Chains A and B, each alone.
Chain A
Amino acid sequence: MPAAPPVEARRRLHVVTGKGGTGKTTVAAALAIALASGGRRVLLMEVEDRQGIAQLFDTPPLPYEERPVAVAPGHGQVVALAVDAEEALLDYLDMFYNMRRAGRMLKRMGAIDFATTIAPGVRDVLLTGKLKEAVDRGAKTGRRVYDAVVLDAPPTGRIARFLNVTAEVGTLTRAGPIKTQSDSVTRVIRSPQTAVHLVTVLEEMPVQETVDGVAELRAADIPVGHVIVNMHRQPYPIPARLGRTTVRAGLRAAGLPADKPVLDALLAEAADLRSRIALQERERIELDRLGLPIAALPMLTGAVDLGGLYRLAETLAAQGVSRSVG
């Protein structure tokens, strides 16, 4: 067995992005469960005021507070946090300047809203700053609070910009506290501790965005993990040429109606699936060109409930997405 990787090279920050509608929140939650199995403690964070995690786990809206939302096999635990930029700033002021009161005054005046509006990069620094804090928490004492942190991140179109905070802030300020903070965040995000996973479905637009997103992440020196193909349709063993007579005979043998409308509709469904699979294959070739590991998740036919999440978690683990080394 190979020796365990050194602690600082272990992946502990998993950023999950994806185009809207591809199921990135579901995948992030499933990955958090996969990482927590075997008795580990994992933080699942969201940053877009969407309360997507609460909706997924069917809990009341999450406050700005770390709360257990799920257990994983082998006494693992998933803790969730919905990060709010204003609260993150108050935390930050408190931690580094002991200025929580002044922060509250800024908030009352609308100064924080103003700052994050006029310089959106500032908002990203605050959000990613909280991310870094959670990743590093307890490291100095050698007892890390979280074995891994999973971020349900902004969508693929914005992910490189969101994570590349130094560049974002660099145009606004070349020195000072914001710059120092963004540099330290960038060090963590560019380290082997981090992996950005891109969730997609095998359709033109999401795949195109995935390809663009990977290029932007690579240009920003941010480590890319897996491409995760969600809602993947398994090819059915349906022969390319289906004879009407054969199918009619089969339906009769099964005691089912076999009139013309039924035959037409069944054959149309088969043709539909075939073109979908052909499309999937074309898009899959596009993804393969990225030279990244690709994992696939099946389409859940029922609603996405806890049972479904555990199933997806196992599938992710089996494909190595939750491995601690890249």
Chain B
Amino acid sequence: MSTQQSARLDVDAALRNARVIVCCGSGGVGKTTTAAALALRAAEQGRRTVVLTIDPARRLAQSMGLAELDNLPSRVAGVDGELDAMMLDMKRTFDEIVLAHSDPERARQIFANPFYQSLSSSFAGTQEYMAMEKLGQLVAERRWDLVVVDTPPTRSALDFLDAPKHLGKFLDGRVIKVLVAPARAGGRAYLKVVNAGLAAVTRVMTRIIGAQVLTDVQQFVASLETMFGGFRDRADQTYQMLAAPGTAFVVVATPEAAALREASFFTERLASEGMPLAGVVVNRLHPVDGVFADDGVGAARTIAAAEELEAAGTHPETAALLRLHAERATLARREAALVERFSRAHPGTPITPVPAFPEDIHDLDGLRAIGAALAG
């Protein structure tokens, strides 16, 4: 295969040595399955492991005992070792933070505010932030030797890393300062506090979104403000933990241009942030190792042979097999070229190829097979 020039990712070494493994990559590349397979393999090699999944396929979730969303890790049955698994409940995680950082009365007010409901259930960055928050909590519990996390299915793998910064930028923004000004200055004194330019902004906002909405926003921001410091601190701590020794990022991709481009961005970003990249997993490859290759028989020769047999009409089964093989060989060549381009652009980045499995993975045996393929 084309990955010969790159070192192979030593998955078992990573599973032995890491305390946190973060699986990232763009949507639809098999992050959740990879995370679950890594966690299962680590557990069966004797490490107490927990896996935090974000959005597993239903049958895979069932096989891991994740049928209900209780936002707590629970033991996976049928594992030769200790494996806990949990599925992230974004809203519940947010609610728990609010409860932990405010008194019951204030928490009740926050929960009732329409903006909290909207932010906690659909803010594009909330899922990333809450995944990070949950990861921090699991590590802090010290119950496990290894925590494996799947990351949310965002358009870009980078969103996971950007979420805490985005939140910080949001909380430190000028708009928030304007909005919380009346609470600090005491209600009506608001307009005297803000300068004329800001008053103009408020007028514009009132006209566009209406006075009631503006009041709701102000109340919400004011009630959250006391918690801002806590949010920011924990986001920073988790971010530092991700950069610390003991963490290993595994970038997951498929042999497609778009997925590998995302993997490229992410690899570069990790390098520039000084974050530890263990390597890149390329899922769903269609290798054709061994067939004809040693004999120098390429796709063109295979198709020619199929045509010959078809014309003669003597061996229809073999002709069909040859056509199938030629198509696969073409696909394999294209995939190998894409992977090779990636590895040339990132020399020294370990790559692990994982072949496509003909069936979806939805039980522990399937995960074991993936784990074995990952370890090579």
Cβ-defined contact, A99 with B318, below 8 A: no
Q: A52-B258, A99-B204, A178-B208 are in contact. List 11 more A-B contacts (CB 8 A).
A: A93-B208, A106-B205, A111-B201, A111-B205, A155-B27, A155-B153, A171-B117, A237-B316, A249-B315, A250-B321, A256-B322
**Nearest A residue to B324 by beta-carbon distance?**
A236
Q: List the A side residues contacting B297 at CB < 8 Å.
A: 256-257
Judge whether A133 is part of the interface by a CB distance below 8 angstroms: no
Whole-angstrom distance between the Cβ of B135 and the nearest chain A Cβ: 22
Q: Does A255 contact B (CB under 8 A)?
A: yes
State whether A257 touches B292 (Cβ < 8 A).
Answer: yes
Tell me whether A246 and B318 are in contact in the complex, defined as CB-CB below 8 angstroms, given that A93-B208, A171-B118 are known contacts. yes
Cβ of A283 to closest chain B Cβ, rounded Å:
9
Q: Let me know if B175 and A109 touch, CB within 8 A.
A: yes
A242 beta carbon closer than 8 Å to chain B: yes
Given that A106-B205, A275-B358 are contacting pairs, would A120 and B122 also be in contact in the complex, using a CB cutoff of 8 Å? Answer: yes
* Beta-carbon contact of B359 and A279 below 8 Å: yes
B100 CB within 8 Å of chain A: no
A302 interface hit (Cβ, 8 Å):
yes
Q: Which of A208-260 contact B (CB under 8 A)?
A: 208, 236-239, 242-243, 246-247, 249-251, 253-257
Give the CA-CA distance A243 to B317 in the complex, in Å: 9
Interface residues of A in 47-83 (CB under 8 A from B): 48-50, 52, 55
* A residues 78-132 in Cβ contact with B at 8 Å: 93, 97, 99, 102-103, 105-106, 109-111, 113-115, 117-121
Cβ–Cβ contact B57 & A121, under 8 A: no
Chain B residues in 8 Å Cβ range of A238: 317, 320-321, 324
Q: Does A193 contact B (CB under 8 A)?
A: no
Among listed B1-9, B83-91, B141-149, B327-335, interface-contacting one? B327-335
Contact B331–A176 (Cβ < 8 Å): no
- Chain A's closest residue to B360 (CB) is A204
User: Which residue of A has the minimal Cβ distance to B296?
Assistant: A257
Which of B35-43, B225-233, B234-242, B305-313 forms part of the interface with chain A? B305-313
- State A103–B207 Cα separation when bound (angstroms): 12
Interface size class of B (residues with CB under 8 A): 35 or more
Bound-state CA distance A270–B325 (Å) is 9
Q: Is A173 an interface residue (CB 8 A)?
A: yes
B179 CB, min distance to chain A CBs, angstroms: 8
What string of 1s and 0s marks CB contacts (under 8 Å) between A250-288 and chain B? 110111110001100111011111011001000000000
A-B contact pairs, 30 of them (CB 8 A): A20-B27, A21-B254, A48-B155, A111-B201, A113-B170, A117-B119, A117-B123, A117-B166, A120-B122, A173-B212, A176-B213, A178-B209, A204-B59, A205-B57, A236-B324, A237-B320, A239-B317, A246-B317, A250-B309, A250-B315, A250-B317, A254-B305, A262-B290, A265-B288, A269-B321, A269-B328, A275-B358, A301-B331, A301-B334, A303-B334
Chain A, Cβ-Cβ closest to B216: A172
Q: How far is the CB of A95 from chain B (nearest CB, A)?
A: 13
Contact status B327-A20, CB under 8 Å = no
B26-47: CB near A (< 8 Å → 1, else 0) gives: 1111000000000000000000
A255, B132: Cα distance in complex, Å: 59
Contact with A204, one of B166, B178, B322, B362 (Cβ below 8 angstroms): B362
A118 touches B305 (CB 8 A): no
Chain A residue, CB-CB nearest to B198: A109
The verdict on B77 contacting chain A, using a C-beta distance below 8 Å, is no
Question: Nearest 3 pairs between A and B by C-beta?
Answer: A250-B318, A21-B28, A20-B27
Chain B interface residues (CB < 8 Å from chain A): 26-29, 55, 57-59, 114-115, 117-119, 122-125, 153, 155-156, 166, 170, 173-176, 178, 197, 200-201, 204-205, 207-210, 212-213, 216-217, 220-221, 254, 256-259, 261, 288-292, 295, 297, 302, 305-306, 308-309, 312, 314-325, 327-328, 330-331, 334, 358-360, 362
The answer for the CA separation of A246 and B317 in the assembled complex, in Å, is 8
Which residues of A are found within 8 Å of B360, using beta-carbon distances? 203-205, 279
- With A105-B201, A204-B360, A254-B308 already in contact, the answer to whether A121 and B118 are too (CB < 8 A) is yes
A17 at the A/B interface (Cβ < 8 Å)?
no
Give chain A residues whose Cβ lies under 8 Å from the Cβ of B331.
301
Q: How far is the CA of A239 from the CA of B178 in the complex (A)?
A: 73
A148–chain B nearest beta-carbon distance, Å = 25
Interface centre among A55, A168, A251, A279 (most CB of B within 10 A): A251
Query: Separation in Å of the A156 CB from the closest CB of chain B?
Result: 11
Would you give the shortest CB distance from A272 to chain B, in whole angstroms?
5
A275 to chain B: which residues have CB within 8 Å? 358-359
A interface size (C-beta, 8 A):
75
Inter-chain contact B27/A19, CB cutoff 8 Å: yes
Q: When the two chains form their complex, are residues B257 and A303 in contact, meaning their CB atoms are under 8 A apart?
A: yes
Chain B residues near A301 (CB-CB < 8 A)? 327, 330-331, 334
A194 at the binding interface (Cβ < 8 Å): no
Least CB distance from B251 to A in Å reads 15
Q: Does A5 contact B (CB under 8 A)?
A: no
CA distance A83 to B296 in the complex (A): 50
Q: Is the CB of B27 within 8 A of A97?
A: no
> Separation in Å of the B362 CB from the closest CB of chain A?
7
**Beta-carbon nearest neighbor of A96 in chain B:** B208
Question: Is the C-beta of A177 less than 8 angstroms from some C-beta in chain B?
Answer: yes
Partner of A256, one of B123, B200, B292: B292
Is residue A3 contacting chain B, with contact meaning CB distance below 8 A?
A: no
Q: In the complex, which residues of chain A have a beta carbon less than 8 angstroms from the beta carbon of B317?
A: 238-239, 242-243, 246-247, 250
Are B153 and A97 in contact (CB-based, < 8 A)? no
Q: A50-B155, A250-B318 are known contacts. Are A262 and B292 too (CB-CB below 8 A)?
A: yes
**In the complex, A22 has a CB within 8 A of chain B:** yes
- Given known A117-B170, A172-B213, contact A261–B118 (CB-CB < 8 A): no
Q: Is the CB of B305 within 8 A of A256?
A: yes
Q: Is A161 an interface residue (CB 8 A)?
A: yes
A1 adjacent to chain B (CB < 8 Å): no
Assembled-state Cα–Cα distance A121/B209 (Å): 13
- CB-CB < 8 A to A4: which residues of B? none
**Across the interface, do A173 and B288 meet the contact criterion of CB distance under 8 Å?**
no
Q: Looking across the interface, which residue of chain A has its beta carbon closest to that of B154? A: A20
- B200 touching A261, Cβ below 8 Å: no
Asked if A273 meets B324 with Cβ closer than 8 Å, knowing A109-B201, A265-B288, the reply is yes
Q: Which of B55, B204, B314 contacts A106 (CB 8 A)?
A: B204
